[in-house]
C-alpha cells in the first residue's frame, strides 16, 4: 500500500513493528492469570477443602479469558495490529476475518469482567453474616449481571445485520454510535469496580485484630484498585485510537484491553489465596493476630476447651466469621472436643487466620482462667463489627 500523503515522505516513515511484543504481553498476562486461578482451585479444593460458587464462577471466567487470549492473538495477526498502517496490505477477505475476530473478542470482554465481579461478590458472602451487608452484595450482583447481559447484547447487535460489522458494503446495513457505546460501558464498569472494592471495607475495619493484620487484609482486597488504574489507562488508549492518531494499528489499545481482563481475574483470585500464602509464608500471612483487648483478659476469641462455654464461643465465632461457608465444616472439632484422627486443622486455621501457636495460647489462657467456660459468650469480644 502506498503511503498516504499526510503521513509524510515514504522514505522518512518508520517501518518497525510491535506485533510480537503485543502477542507476548497478551500471552504472558493470560498465563499468569491462569496460573493464579489454578492455584486458587488447589487452595480451595486441597487446603480449605471447600469449593464454592465463587470458585466455579472464576473458573468459567478463566476459560473465557483463555479463549479471549487466542482470539486476540488471531485478531492481531489478521488485522496487522502492531504494524504501522502504511505497512499493511489489506484485502477484503483478510480485513473481514480480522473484524470477525474483533467482534468475537468484544463479545468475550464484558462477560469476563462480569464473571470476575460476580466471583468476588460471592466471595464477600463469606466475610460477614450481616443481612444488610448481604443485601448490598446481592443488589450489586444483580446490577453486575444486568450490565453484563445488556452490554453483551448491545455488542452483538451493534450493527444490523450483524455481518455488517465485517461487511461494510452490505446494502441497508447500519451501526449505532460505537464510540459512545464503548466509552459509556467502560465508564459504568469502572464505577462498578470502585463500588465493589469499597463495599467490604467497613467489615474489615471492624475486625478485632491487630491494626497491622487488618491493614494487610484490607490491602489484599484493595489490590483491585489496580484494575481501576488499568481500566482508566485503557480508556485513554481507546480515546487516542479513535480521535488522536492516524496510525491506529500501531497502537497498543488491544493489549491494554487484554491486560485489563487478566488483572481483573488476578485481583479477584488473590484474596482467596491467603491460606496458600499462609502455608508458604507463615511468618507474614500465617496469623491475623489478636486484638489488644482479646489478649488482656477480656476472653479468648478462639476457645479450644471442651466445655459448654467453649462450644458456645465456637458457635459465636462461627456465626461472626461465617466459617462454615469458608470451609470450616466441623467447628466443634476445631474449638472443642478432640481432633479426629488422621485429619489436619491446617486449612481451617489458615482460613480463619489463626495460627496453631495462637490456638495453643488460647487453650493455655482458658486453662489458667479459672473454671472452664468461666468467660461467658456475652463477655467475649465480638469478632466482627458490621456496619448496619
Q: How large is the average pLDDT for residues 160-189?
A: 90
Q: Are 269 and 365 within one domain?
A: no
Residue 387, pLDDT > 60, answer: no
What is the residue whose three cell numbers read 467456660? 373
Write the secondary structure of the chain as one string of H (helix), E (strand) and C (coil): CCCCHHHCCHHHCCCCECHHHHHHHHHHHHHHHHHHHHHHHHHHHHHCCCCCHHHHHHHHHHHHHHHHHHHHHHHHHHHCCCECHHHCCCCHHHHHHHHHHHHHHHHHHHHHHHHHHHHHHHHHCCCCCCHHHHHHHHHHHHHHHHHHHHHHHHHHCCEECHHHHCCCCCCCCEECCHHHHHHHHHHHHHHHHHHHHHCCHHHHHCCCECHHHHHHHHHHHHCCHHHHHHHHHHHHHHHHHHHCCCCHHHCCHHHHHHHHHHHHHHHHHHHHHHHHHHHHCHHHHCCCCECHHHHCCCCCCCCCCCCHHHHHHHHHHHHHHCHHHHCCCCHHHHHCCCCCCCCCCHHHHHHCCCCHHHHHHHHHHHHHCCCCCCCCHHHCCCCCCCCC
266-311: per-residue pLDDT in tens?
A: 988 888 888 888 888 777 665 544 444 444 333 333 333 333 444 4
181-200: per-residue pLDDT in tens?
A: 988 888 888 899 899 888 88
Domain finish residue from 262, 283, 304:
283
Per the structure, the complete domain to which residue 261 belongs is given by: 5-283
Confidence band (pLDDT; 50, 70, 90) for 261?
very high
Q: Are 292 and 165 within one domain?
A: no
Q: How large is the average pLDDT for residues 72-96?
A: 89
Residue 62 lies in a domain: yes
User: So what's the pLDDT on residue 296?
Assistant: 38
User: So what's the pLDDT on residue 7?
Assistant: 67
User: So what's the pLDDT on residue 364?
Assistant: 42
Rg (CA), the chain: 26
User: So what's the pLDDT on residue 61?
Assistant: 95
Q: Are 181 and 275 within one domain?
A: yes
For 279, residues 6+ apart whose C-beta sits below 8 A from its C-beta are 47, 346, 350
User: So what's the pLDDT on residue 15?
Assistant: 80
Domain finish residue from 220, 254, 283:
283
Domain finish residue from 283, 304, 333:
283
Confidence band (pLDDT; 50, 70, 90) for 6?
low
Confidence band (pLDDT; 50, 70, 90) for 220?
confident
Q: What percentage of residues in the chain have a pLDDT greater than 90?
A: 35
Q: Are 188 and 230 within one domain?
A: yes
Residue 386 lies in a domain: no
User: So what's the pLDDT on residue 169?
Assistant: 87
Q: Are 185 and 232 within one domain?
A: yes
Q: Tell me if 354 sits within 8 A of 300, measured CB to CB.
A: no
Question: Quick one: which of 105, 108, 127 has its CA closest to 54?
Answer: 127
Residue 388 lies in a domain: no
Q: How large is the average pLDDT for residues 334-355?
A: 34
Residue 384 lies in a domain: no
Residue 146, pLDDT > 80, answer: yes
Structural domain total, the chain: 2
Confidence band (pLDDT; 50, 70, 90) for 255?
very high
User: So what's the pLDDT on residue 223?
Assistant: 77
Residue 385 lies in a domain: no
Residue-averaged pLDDT of the chain? 74
CATH of the domain at 188: 1.20.1070
Q: Are 212 and 307 within one domain?
A: no
- 89-98, 189-198, 254-263, 291-300 — which one is most confidently predicted on average? 254-263
CA pseudo-torsion sign 65, 71, 76, 79: negative
User: So what's the pLDDT on residue 139?
Assistant: 94
Residue 174 lies in a domain: yes
Query: Is the peptide bond prior to 161 cis by the omega test (within 30 degrees of 0)?
Result: yes
Q: Are 250 and 117 within one domain?
A: yes
363 vs 48, residue with greater confidence = 48
The model's pTM: 0.71
What is the residue whose three cell numbers read 492469570? 33
User: So what's the pLDDT on residue 109?
Assistant: 94
Rounded CA separation 163/186 (Å): 24
272-284: per-residue pLDDT in tens?
A: 888 888 888 777 6
Q: Are 267 and 296 within one domain?
A: no
What is the residue whose three cell numbers read 500523503? 5
Q: Are 207 and 297 within one domain?
A: no
Q: Are 270 and 305 within one domain?
A: no
Rounded CA separation 7/13 (Å): 8
Q: Are 202 and 308 within one domain?
A: no
Amino acid at each position: 500500500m502506498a503511503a498516504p500523503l499526510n503521513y509524510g515522505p515514504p522514505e522518512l516513515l518508520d517501518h518497525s513493528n510491535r506485533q510480537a511484543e503485543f502477542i507476548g504481553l497478551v500471552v504472558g498476562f493470560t498465563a499468569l492469570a491462569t496460573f493464579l486461578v489454578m492455584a486458587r482451585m488447589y487452595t480451595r479444593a486441597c487446603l480449605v477443602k471447600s469449593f464454592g460458587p465463587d470458585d466455579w464462577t472464576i473458573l468459567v471466567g478463566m476459560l473465557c479469558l483463555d479463549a479471549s487470549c487466542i482470539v486476540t492473538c488471531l485478531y492481531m495477526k489478521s488485522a496487522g495490529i502492531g504494524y504501522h498502517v502504511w505497512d499493511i496490505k489489506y484485502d477484503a477477505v483478510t480485513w473481514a476475518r480480522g473484524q470477525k475476530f474483533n467482534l468475537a473478542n468484544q463479545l468475550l470482554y464484558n462477560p469476563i469482567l462480569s464473571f470476575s465481579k460476580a466471583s468476588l461478590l460471592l466471595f464477600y458472602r463469606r466475610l460477614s453474616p450481616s443481612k444488610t451487608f448481604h443485601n448490598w452484595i446481592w443488589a450489586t450482583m444483580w446490577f453486575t449481571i444486568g450490565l453484563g447481559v445488556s452490554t453483551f447484547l448491545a455488542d452483538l447487535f451493534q450493527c444490523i445485520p450483524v455481518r455488517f460489522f465485517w461487511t461494510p458494503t452490505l446494502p441497508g446495513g447500519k451501526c449505532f454510535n460505537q464510540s459512545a457505546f464503548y466509552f459509556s460501558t467502560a465508564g459504568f464498569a469502572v464505577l462498578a469496580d470502585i463500588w465493589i472494592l469499597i463495599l467490604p471495607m467497613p467489615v474489615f475495619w471492624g475486625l478485632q485484630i491487630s491494626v497491622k493484620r487488618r491493614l494487610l487484609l484490607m490491602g489484599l482486597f484493595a489490590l483491585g484498585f489496580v484494575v481501576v488504574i488499568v481500566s482508566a489507562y485503557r480508556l485513554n488508549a481507546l480515546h487516542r485510537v479513535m480521535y488522536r492518531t492516524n496510525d491506529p494499528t500501531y497502537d497498543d489499545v488491544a493489549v491494554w484491553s487484554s491486560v485489563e481482563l487478566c488483572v481483573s481475574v488476578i485481583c479477584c483470585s488473590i484474596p482467596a489465596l491467603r491460606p496458600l500464602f499462609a502455608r508458604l509464608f507463615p511468618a507474614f500471612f500465617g496469623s491475623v493476630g489478636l486484638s489488644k483487648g482479646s489478649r488482656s483478659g477480656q476472653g479468648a476469641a478462639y476457645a479450644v476447651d471442651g466445655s459448654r462455654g467453649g462450644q458456645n464461643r465456637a458457635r459465636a465465632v462461627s456465626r461472626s466469621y461465617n466459617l462454615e461457608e469458608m470451609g470450616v465444616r466441623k467447628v466443634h472439632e476445631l474449638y472443642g472436643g478432640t481432633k479426629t484422627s488422621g485429619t489436619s486443622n491446617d486449612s481451617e486455621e489458615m482460613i480463619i487466620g489463626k495460627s496453631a501457636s495462637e490456638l495453643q495460647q488460647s487453650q493455655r489462657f482458658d486453662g489458667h482462667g479459672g473454671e472452664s467456660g468461666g468467660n461467658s459468650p456475652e463477655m467475649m469480644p465480638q469478632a466482627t463489627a458490621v456496619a448496619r
